[in-house]
Homo-oligomer: A and B are copies of this chain.
């Protein structure tokens, strides 16, 4: 007997990137930070008293939200802390989108969005990005014409790593009648010289919801901590009505706060990633592998058809290096490579050189 809802019965779940049990692999496939969490996180962990675990945690992660608010100079009431970015995405969809309404994306994009739409049972409308990964012209108008309730845009974009400018996003939010959810999972890796800042838009537009996460920039993917930033009309219903009562555990609240408050350490890791990203991009180009300009911690690398992206992915795996190859249409000729630490990046380049010489 099957009991599940029709939409659930008809869907296939999300397939996360490979997470091999053994540590023999060099993992450049799921965009984790190459650095471990810093000493402040280690200290916060050592300071945890298990006696505190007996009681329920603070239900809205109040202290952590206070730190986040100070960090971004916004109100803590504009912030909701979630069990990873996944929870914020799911919550936003299930709180704001009726099942006869639509979510829109511009493809290619993060494949989880479609899975979440299917699980919710709402419509899913795909627009296609231009060749240069920019949004199609009159995007907001198209969203309105299709009666879209929520549009999900990763920025920096996944899988390309490209950055949509604040001005363009503001123009969309201004014209769009629905909610613009900007998934800023990789925002920490943007070049600071660009002065990219979408948080200021929150005061201007009540229909922008930003997603931030500790998984990438703060090396805490294992802890599951993310947050949403938005107007009260977006944050309040999720905070007080639809999120699970105690969604963030005591230890995660403490460790995330420690990570956030040690900005020096975090920024050092981001600087490193940026410099290695530039090095890697040039070195790959020297090997005949061009890549898109990335503002994230990964590079989308164009693999000449003769070499074949899928074959390259498999060969690298045989050499103990995991990168990502997407089967989706339009992405067959790419591999996505996470920026690793110095040794990992050098070994990647050495191995690629070896493999390319053979072909």
Contact A41 B50 (CB under 8 A): yes
Residues from 213 to 241 in A contacting B, C-beta threshold 8 Å: 215, 219-224, 233-234, 237, 240-241
Contact B36 A240 (CB under 8 A): no
The smallest C-beta distance from A299 to any residue of chain B, in angstroms, reads 20
Chain A contact residue count (CB 8 A cutoff): 77
Chain B: CB-nearest residue to A248: B224
Given A59-B16, A95-B8, decide whether A53 and B220 contact each other with a Cβ distance below 8 A: yes
Chain B: CB-nearest residue to A119: B242
Given A245-B112, A246-B224, decide whether A36 and B56 contact each other with a Cβ distance below 8 A: no
By a CB distance below 8 angstroms, the chain B residues around A59 are: 16, 19
User: What 1/0 mask marks residues of chain A from 26 to 64 whose CB sits below 8 Å from any chain B CB?
Assistant: 010010110111000110010010111111111100000
Q: Is A354 an interface residue (CB 8 A)?
A: no
User: What 1/0 mask marks residues of chain A from 88 to 101 whose CB sits below 8 Å from any chain B CB?
Assistant: 00100011111100
The smallest C-beta distance from A110 to any residue of chain B, in angstroms, reads 11
CA of A86 to CA of B244, assembled, Å: 6
Q: Is A179 an interface residue (CB 8 A)?
A: yes
CA of A244 to CA of B88, assembled, Å: 10
Contact A247 B83 (CB under 8 A): yes
Q: Is A1 an interface residue (CB 8 A)?
A: yes
Given A83-B83, A86-B245, A245-B86, decide whether A219 and B5 contact each other with a Cβ distance below 8 A: no
The smallest C-beta distance from A268 to any residue of chain B, in angstroms, reads 15
User: What 1/0 mask marks residues of chain A from 12 to 28 whose CB sits below 8 Å from any chain B CB?
Assistant: 11101001000000010
Q: Is A252 an interface residue (CB 8 A)?
A: yes
Q: Is A6 an interface residue (CB 8 A)?
A: yes
4 new A-B contacts at CB < 8 Å, known A3-B234, A16-B56? A1-B207, A4-B241, A14-B245, A30-B55
